[in-house]
Amino acid sequence: MAIVFCFIMLYFTLSFNTAMAGIPIRNSNPDYQPVIYLDFDGAVIENTAWNYNGPIICGSSGLTDVQGLEIYNRVAEDYSPFTINVTTDSNRYWSAPPTQRIRVIISVSSSWYGSAGGVAFTGSFTWGDNTPCFVFSQLLNYNTKYIAEAVSHESGHTLGLYHQAVYDTMCTKLSDYNYGMGSGEIGWAPIMGIGYYQNMTRWHNGPNPYGCTNLQDDIAIITSTSNGISTITDDCDSSFLNAPFLNFSNPSNLRIAKLESNGDVDLYRFNVGTNRNVIININPGSSGVNNAGGNIDLIVSLYNSNKELVSTFNDPQKLNVTIDTMLSPGDYFLSVSAGANNYAALYGSVGTYSLHGTLLAGSALPVKNIRLTNFNTSAKVVLAWITETDLEVTRQWLELKVNGTQFVKNNENIPANGSYEYYFLASDKLIEFRVGVQFSDLTIKYSNIVAATQKTGSTMPEVIMSGSQIYVRFSEASELTVTDIGGRIIARQKLNSGLNNIKLFNHSTGIHLFIITNSRKAPFINKIFLRN
């Protein structure tokens, strides 16, 4: 018999809520047959692996319909990237394939099992015998956050997941449950750890309780062939050529979309007819104020009609992004992606988000410009920045990203206009910099990103990829030609000595050849796989 897993609680003061009259029918992904059915109504369970002492009589959840809807919304967000339907409709459960469904009974009745937030048999989603899993609402003090976390957690067990555990550097297990880290909006914990006490819970790739080298890739297991589930098809193209149009002149325009996989990028296009104050709000799918229950830490980049980066927006203490800027007439592009933060890695930053834009009459904005420039030699990079604003600057800092890792603060409380010298370490390959500014109205904005690398005098060119950016480093002036595998020329660009940012537009997905020619050397050819 499969191992039984429990989502253990410490203690709670028990109370009792008015029973719900009946949660409305909801389906998160109605086009798909696999089902997670949330049953709030109570049931008599017979002829399952749980019935070693006869029938189990489960009372209803003791929750109001408002509480039930919040729980449904939170669980639906956790499973939104997958081809599985989270539903409150029993008919959808009974019509689903028997080996692709699980019933989660949310009940006040727990005495038959013991003191736990919930319990499930690992892998029971595919058993085909209607064995349910359980979440005990009274033991969780009717707390909607806790109950939703337990539902997603126990459902995860039925899909084949074990717990996410914690080990020290010597491979000694510290806890069977990973409680995550951090606080506030961006505080994080794994869904298969203990998610009760952090705002943001995600699927995780980390060690399970059976050894520090037993890494459990939650998403890979959920989407395994045995479960018959996959990630849903990308709903938005990531190319400039096919970017869908956003009509910000229509105040009711609201786009709901998904980041379906780690590293997914959604690209949009919009137009500004005259000088306008453009306000764009991009929010993760959540269940309350301060992005409660959001699973994505959003990063948004703005490009002009030439596909040149204007600015990147990423509030380090919030999951959502607000852009408030003045734009001149023309076409613009907006990319939406997820990122890591001080507590959580990029893995598992998937789910839904909403996007809404407003065009206001043109007027001077409080923040006019944050501009960063750089110049580097073999030993150091010299940075200079200027901040033009009508608001008081309360705090300004410099951040750097080393060799493709996440941005970290390097210098606090730098002046509004100033310069800084960064001396390269031996291990530095590519350094990227940006300036962050906080204003008197508590808003935070970031400058453009600049990159630098130490010049080594190498006689061989080097092609460097950092996220969506491509750079070529060479010690001599030369020329770059980029072709697809069939020989079609995508781009030509003069290369200066040092680091060059490469601009590629409208290229296809696949292998591309980077051919670097110099009058005194044989051509250098590097094969790079590019995604459109």
Q: Is the pLDDT of residue 304 over 60?
A: yes
Distance CA 99, CA 34 (A): 9
The pLDDT of residue 115 is: 84
- List the single range of 86-100, 420-434, 515-529 with lowest mean pLDDT: 515-529
Which residues belong to CATH 2.60.120.380 in the chain?
A: 255-361
Amino acid code (one letter) for 382: V
Average pLDDT over residues 352-363: 82
Domain 255-361 CATH (choose: 3.40.50.2300, 2.60.120.380, 3.40.50.300, 3.30.450.40): 2.60.120.380
Q: Pairing mode, if any, of strands 205-207 and 200-202? A: unpaired
Reported as a single tens digit per residue, the pLDDT across 101-151 is 999 999 999 999 988 899 999 999 999 999 999 999 999 999 999 999 999
**352, 312 contact by CB (below 8 A):** no
**With left for phi above 0 and alpha for psi between -120 and 50, is residue 233 left, alpha or beta?**
beta
CA distances to 52, 53, 60, 137, 217 from 47, rounded to whole Å, are 9, 11, 20, 24, 33
CA distances to 113, 153, 195, 204, 512 from 158, rounded to whole Å, are 18, 9, 18, 16, 43
Show the tokens assigned to 135.
């979440």
Tracing tokens 């890591």 back to the chain, one arrives at: 340
- More confident site: 327 or 57: 57
Q: Is the pLDDT of residue 451 over 50?
A: yes
Would you identify the CATH topology of the domain 1-232? Answer: Collagenase (Catalytic Domain) (3.40.390)
Reported as a single tens digit per residue, the pLDDT across 156-182 is 999 999 999 999 989 999 999 999 999
CB under 8 Å to 52, separation ≥6 — which residues? none
- List the single range of 66-70, 317-321, 427-431 with lowest mean pLDDT: 427-431
Distance CA 172, CA 283 (A): 39
Which residues belong to CATH 3.40.390 in the chain?
A: 1-232
Q: Which string of DSSP letters, residue by residue, matches 27-59?
A: BSSTT---EEEEE-S-EEE-SSTT-BTB-EEE-
Grouping H, G, I as helix, E, B as strand and the rest as coil, residue 279 is strand
**204, 9 contact by CB (below 8 A):** no
- More confident site: 342 or 8: 342
- More confident site: 220 or 289: 220
Q: Give the alpha-carbon dihedral of 508, 465, 230, 232, to 10 degrees.
A: -60
**243, 40 contact by CB (below 8 A):** no
Which residues belong to CATH 2.60.40.10 in the chain?
A: 367-452
7 CB neighbour count, 10 Å cutoff: 27
**279, 360 contact by CB (below 8 A):** yes
Q: Is the pLDDT of residue 431 over 90?
A: no
Q: Output DSSP code: residue 251.
A: T
Q: Could you list the beta-strand ranges (E) of 362-495.
A: 367-376, 380-389, 393-402, 408-411, 418-423, 431-439, 444-446, 450-452, 462-466, 469-474, 478-484, 489-495
Query: Which of 268, 242, 389, 408 is closest to 339 using CA atoms?
Result: 408
Binned at pLDDT 50, 70 and 90, residue 467 comes out as low
Reported as a single tens digit per residue, the pLDDT across 365-376 is 444 566 666 666
Average pLDDT over residues 458-477: 71
Reported as a single tens digit per residue, the pLDDT across 254-281 is 889 999 988 889 999 999 988 787 889 9
The pLDDT of residue 18 is: 37
Would you identify the CATH topology of the domain 367-452? Answer: Immunoglobulin-like (2.60.40)
Q: Is the pLDDT of residue 436 over 90?
A: no
Show the tokens assigned to 460.
């061989």
**265, 276 contact by CB (below 8 A):** no
Binned at pLDDT 50, 70 and 90, residue 364 comes out as very low
Which residues belong to CATH 2.60.40.3080 in the chain?
A: 462-530
Would you identify the CATH topology of the domain 462-530? Answer: Immunoglobulin-like (2.60.40)
- The answer to pTM > 0.75 is no
CA distances to 205, 478, 494 from 475, rounded to whole Å, are 40, 9, 13
Grouping H, G, I as helix, E, B as strand and the rest as coil, residue 132 is coil
Show the tokens assigned to 434.
């940006």
The pLDDT of residue 335 is: 93
**359, 225 contact by CB (below 8 A):** no
Reported as a single tens digit per residue, the pLDDT across 188-247 is 999 999 999 999 999 999 999 999 999 999 999 999 999 999 999 988 878 888 899 998
Residues of the chain by 3-state class (helix, strand, coil), percent to 5: 10, 40, 50
The pLDDT of residue 367 is: 47
The pLDDT of residue 309 is: 83
